[in-house]
Amino acid sequence: MAKMAASLVESGEDAFRKIFKFYKRRNPPPDFSAVIDFSKGLPSDKIVPAILDPSAVSDVEAARVGLQSVRDWRAFSLQGYPGFIFISNPFLLGSQPFWVRQCLKTYSQKPNVCNLDMHMSPSDTQDIWQKSVHSLSSPHSGKRKTKTLLDRLRWVTLGYHYNWDTKMYSANHYTPFPADLHLLSTQITAACGFQDFNAEAGILNFYLSDSSLGIHVDESELDHSRPLLSFSFGQSAIFLLGGLRRQDPPIAMYMHSGDIMVMSGQSRLLYHAVPRIISAPQGCTALEMEGCSLASPQQDCSVVEAVSEEDWAVCSRYIQSSRVNVTVRQVLGPGQSFPDTPSAHQRTDVGQTVGYQDRAADGESKKRKRSSSCDPVGTAET
């Protein structure tokens, strides 16, 4: 990978774009040997342990949102990428299914906004889960002939709703941010040394097996001093982390279900992308196995609830071939407010687009040249 990137730079070509296309390639399939896999903990001169603050989050507080004790987290940083922290699945066994259900069943509900609102009436998108559950929970052989609304879901916005056309947030397009996701985000950021983080906006990206997220940078928030969080659930993905310039060659890493990335400081404005979803053998993931032994809440005040067998049947069927990415960001700094007119830095997040090959069928082809979550908004399937 390093040799390939060097040769591209020397030839004056866009190294990031070339490497993106390399990993996106289907035939012949790319060589994944250079992709960093934090779950394996293999030694590397680029990977160093990240310093966390276990005293910032008690074991009880962590367990409330389904997290292990901070002292047990496997967190890493990368040499040359200051502010980037990768946490390899810190969730307690049996808690991920709750967050998957929240993404698919709860966060897709109104008043939150989704891509289907662009070309369907509010009544048609009122309860995406309920209108999809029968088809997704019914036994079937092969592919379903008719896509459910959940199958057609591509993105959902929370809190301050990102405007894909203007690439901005605004004070008058806001709905309450989910309290459970807010608490999860503040526990993660506190452990990483960021106190008083305020989760104000979220973008959920839903990836099919042939989806990708284009090269982009997350800069639409008015305050870049606060970190951006990215949660991954379901199938694994290749994540590319580049530099401050779009042409800088990126480093490749796997994002598995339960993994969390924190982008802060200089890495907050680095270019990144997701060129490929990596399906597990026979579609089976560790997360699906977790669902077979769902954990009961460990304490009365726990945010995480046991997921019913009926709900998990739908979630499990969905993630057999799909990935959900949740990015959370703070939009405004302390005492900051939205300007009356758009500021110069609230411009488009360059080159960012989630490439779903069936977008045309959903009537959204050209509309989604947007930033996305890893991040659209300068978004993030961070």
Identify the H or E element spanning 276. strand 272-278
Residue 303: phi and psi, rounded to 5, are: -75, -35
List the alpha helices (DSSP H) in 74-231: 96-101, 128-137, 179-191
d(CA 162, CA 372): 10
pLDDT in 10s for each residue of the chain, 382 residues:
545 544 544 444 589 999 999 999 999 999 999 999 999 877 678 999 999 999 999 999 999 999 999 999 999 999 999 999 999 999 999 999 999 999 999 999 999 999 999 999 988 999 999 998 887 776 655 555 678 999 999 999 999 999 988 888 999 999 999 999 999 999 999 999 999 999 999 999 999 999 999 998 888 898 888 999 999 999 999 999 999 998 899 999 999 999 999 999 999 999 999 999 998 765 455 565 565 555 554 556 889 999 999 999 999 989 988 999 999 999 998 889 988 755 444 433 333 434 433 333 233 333 333 333 333 333 434 4
CATH H-level, domain 15-138+147-329: superfamily: Alpha-ketoglutarate-dependent dioxygenase AlkB-like (2.60.120.590)
Q: What is the pLDDT of residue 133?
A: 87
The whole-model pTM stands at 0.85
The residue written with tokens 């990368």 in the block is 78
Q: Which amino acid is residue 44, in one-letter code?
A: S
In eight-state DSSP terms, residue 107 is T
Strand partners, 78: 47
For the record, the structure tokens of 138 come out as 């019914």
Closest CA to 23 of 227, 230, 241: 241
Which residue, among 325, 370, 328, has the nearest Cα to 349 in the 3D structure? 370
Quick one: pLDDT at residue 55? Answer: 96
Nearest residue to 136 (alpha-carbon basis) of 149, 123, 154 = 149
Q: Residues annotated in the binding site for Fe cation, as ranges?
A: 216, 218, 272
Residue type, 156: V
At 212, give phi and psi (nearest 5°). -150, 165
Q: Residue 107: how many CA atoms within 13 Å on its side-chain side?
A: 31
Per the annotation, binding residues are 216, 218, 272
